[in-house]
């Protein structure tokens, strides 16, 4: 009984951290691993194809323009300079660890994405004429990976500030729309986008746990337990 009491006490003291590790890191990695195995073994892609064709069935000239705009906004042309500005801001305000966390979160996700594309070598979809012909491979989606990493890092950094819900309410829909637009545009299968989202969330939240003491402000013990 003493052992279980001690285990329960440890869980209560670290419940927030353990839940974050499970739902934010372990579970996404498990799903990503299963997804990656299917891609590597070229498993049945009927669901991927059906979802792609279903999304494309809503095609209109206005949605075409929206998808192209999201491609630009969620690409390196916009998120790259914005990331440099955010990095420079944290350095200039004497918060170097927050700056380096953001740089590692976004830059690391981009590097992992390039390695994964080269490893899996999945060809782009050929179900319908894409809005834009994209270079390199398909899995995982670079736009989904980059936008999810960017938003996840911002949410982590804003979590203990008054801006956290703005980061969630504006950032999460943005990352979701960028990913969905890639399927609509014919540039990716849905599993490419899902893989990018999962990889980024696991990477950023795992990095957050490693650098946790460096990137968050000191809190009273009661808030520490509640917000871990």
∠ at Cα 15 (10, 18), nearest 5°?
A: 100
Q: What is the pLDDT of residues 36-50, one digit of tens each?
A: 888 888 777 888 999
* Higher pLDDT, residue 214 or 2: 214
Taking 50 as the threshold, does the pLDDT of residue 224 lie above it? no
For residue 44, the model assigns a pLDDT of 73
Q: What is the pLDDT of residues 51-101, one digit of tens each?
A: 998 998 889 999 999 999 999 999 999 999 999 999 999 999 999 999 999
∠ at Cα 37 (36, 42), nearest 5°?
A: 100
DSSP string, 104-156: HHHHHHHHHHHHHHHHH-PPPP-SS--SS---S--SS-HHHHHHHHHHHHHHH
What are the C-alpha distances in Å from 139 to residues 44, 109, 177, 195, 226? 15, 14, 18, 7, 37
Maximum Cα interatomic distance, the chain, rounded to a whole number of Å? 67
CB of 99 closer than 8 Å to CB of 91: yes
For residue 183, the model assigns a pLDDT of 95
Q: What percent of the chain has pLDDT over 70?
A: 88
Confidence of residue 220 (pLDDT cuts 50, 70, 90): very low
CB of 139 closer than 8 Å to CB of 191: yes
Q: What is the pLDDT of residues 198-207, one digit of tens each?
A: 999 999 999 9
Q: What is the pLDDT of residues 119-153, one digit of tens each?
A: 999 999 988 888 888 888 999 999 999 999 999 99
* Higher pLDDT, residue 26 or 67: 67
Least confident residue range of 99-103, 106-110, 208-212, 213-217? 213-217
> How far is residue 124's CA from residue 134's CA, in Å, rounded to a whole number?
8
* Phi and psi angles of residue 209, each rounded to the nearest 5 degrees, phi first: -65, -35
For residue 191, the model assigns a pLDDT of 95
Taking 90 as the threshold, does the pLDDT of residue 218 lie above it? no
């Amino acid at each position: 009984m003493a052992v279980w009491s001690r285990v329960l006490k440890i869980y209560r003291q670290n419940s927030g951290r353990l839940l974050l590790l499970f739902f934010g890191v372990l579970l996404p990695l498990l799903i990503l691993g299963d997804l990656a195995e299917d891609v590597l073994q070229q498993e049945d892609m009927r669901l991927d194809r059906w979802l792609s064709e279903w999304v494309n069935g809503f095609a209109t000239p206005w949605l075409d323009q929206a998808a192209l705009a999201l491609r630009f906004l969620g690409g390196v042309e916009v998120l790259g300079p914005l990331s440099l500005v955010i990095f420079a801001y944290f350095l200039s305000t004497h918060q170097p660890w927050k700056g380096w966390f953001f740089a590692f979160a976004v830059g690391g996700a981009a590097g992992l994405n390039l390695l994964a594309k080269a490893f899996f070598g999945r060809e782009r979809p050929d179900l319908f004429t894409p809005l834009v012909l994209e270079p390199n491979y398909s899995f995982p989606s670079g736009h989904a990976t980059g936008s999810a990493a960017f938003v996840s890092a911002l949410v982590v950094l804003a979590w203990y500030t008054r801006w956290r819900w703005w980061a969630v309410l504006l950032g999460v829909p943005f990352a979701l729309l960028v990913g969905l637009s890639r399927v609509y545009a014919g540039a990716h299968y849905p599993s490419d986008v899902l893989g990018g989202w999962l990889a980024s969330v696991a990477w950023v939240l795992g990095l957050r746990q490693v650098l946790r003491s460096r990137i968050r402000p000191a809190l009273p013990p009661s808030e520490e337990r509640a917000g871990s």
